[in-house]
Amino acid sequence: EVQLVESGGGLVQPGGSLRLSCTGSGFTFKSYTMSWVRQAPGKGLEWVSTISASGDTTYSADSVQGRFTISRDNSKHTLYLQINSLRAEDTAIYYCAKDIVRVPVAGDYFDYWGQGTLVTVSS
Amino acid sequence: DIQMTQSPSSLSASVGDRVTITCRASQSISNYLNWYQQKPGKAPKLLIYAASSLQSGVPSRFSGSGSGTDFTLSISSLQPEDFADYYCQQTYSIPLYTFGQGTKLEIK
């Protein structure tokens, strides 16, 4: 059974940092692209960042470019999102998702999602 | 950037009804369109990929169609567990995996 378990969320002051983690099991973690998607309270889904299976290729949304960094440790079956210079508008549930491809290509989709971790940015 | 527009934003229907949700892309995305269902307090769940392919385990009352810029998600006979939020997503424009704004399906 595929499982994705996020951790690392919490309450942080504006300008602060957090590192989110997502540990995968039940599939060959090193073979799949992984992504982060967030959802602000009462709002829709927003794609945040994606990393290829090997970790060589990363992409991030313009809204987080330069502040968020996606990475992975395939030996630990773990995906990370380093989030810096946090703003109130970054308050959201952050989901990790498993893609179905090894490298991001057209036609990709997210077949499994974690339960999410809540990041709250407030003073 | 490709914009995805869903309609309606909300919809009230009864158990047993047939409902259709529309997603329109700002430019052609071929058939690179996916649909997700999200229930309150839960993670999204994949329903349909590549516009019309049913994800394993998803009931056959769900179906998707369309190509180019116009897509639909249909539920043939609403069940109580189908009342949820629905999102379309384009994966034509790599790496910007744009979602639609969502459609809230409520019980009438």
Within 18-37 of A, beta carbons closer than 8 Å to B belong to: 35, 37
Contact at CB, A50 and B95, closer than 8 angstroms: yes
Is pLDDT above 90 for A109? yes
The pLDDT tens digits of the residues spanning A17-75 come to 999 999 999 999 999 999 999 999 999 999 999 999 999 999 999 999 999 999 999 99
Tell whether B44 is within 8 A of chain A (Cβ). yes
Q: Is A42 on the interface with B (CB under 8 A)?
A: no
pLDDT band at B55 (very low <50, low <70, confident <90, very high): very high
- CB nearest A116 (choices: B43, B93, B96): B43
pLDDT, tens only, B69-100: 999 999 999 999 999 999 999 999 987 899 99
Q: In A, which residues are within 8 Å of B91 by CB distance? A: 106-109
Q: Give me the pLDDT at residue B108, please.
A: 86
Is residue A105 within 8 angstroms of chain B, CB to CB?
A: yes
Tokens read off for A19: 């590192």
Residue B68: its pLDDT value, please?
97
Q: Cα angle at A32 between A107 and B49, to 5 degrees?
A: 30
Average pLDDT, chain B: 96
β-pairing verdict for A10-12 and A117-121: parallel
Residues of B in contact with A95 (CB under 8 A): 43-44
- Identity of the residue numbered A41: P
Task: Calculate how close chain A gets to B11, using CA atoms only, in Å.
Answer: 16
Least confident of A106-110, B24-28, B53-57: A106-110
Residues in B touching A109 (Cβ below 8 Å) = 34, 46, 49-50, 89, 91
SS3 B36: strand
**How many A/B residue pairs have CB atoms within 8 Å?**
66
Q: What is the pLDDT of residue B58?
A: 98
What residue of A is the nearest CA neighbor of B85? Answer: A44
The pLDDT value recorded for residue B80 is: 94
Task: Give the residue-averaged pLDDT of A92-96.
Answer: 98
Residues in B closer than 8 angstroms to A47, CB to CB, are 89, 96-99
For residue A26, the Cα-to-chain-centroid distance in whole angstroms is 19
Work out the minimum CA distance from A123 to partner chain B, whole angstroms: 25
Is residue B1 over pLDDT 90? Answer: no
DSSP characters for A69-120?
EEEEEGGGTEEEEEE-S--GGG-EEEEEEEESSSS--TT--EEEE---EEEE
Q: What is the structure's pLDDT at A62?
A: 92
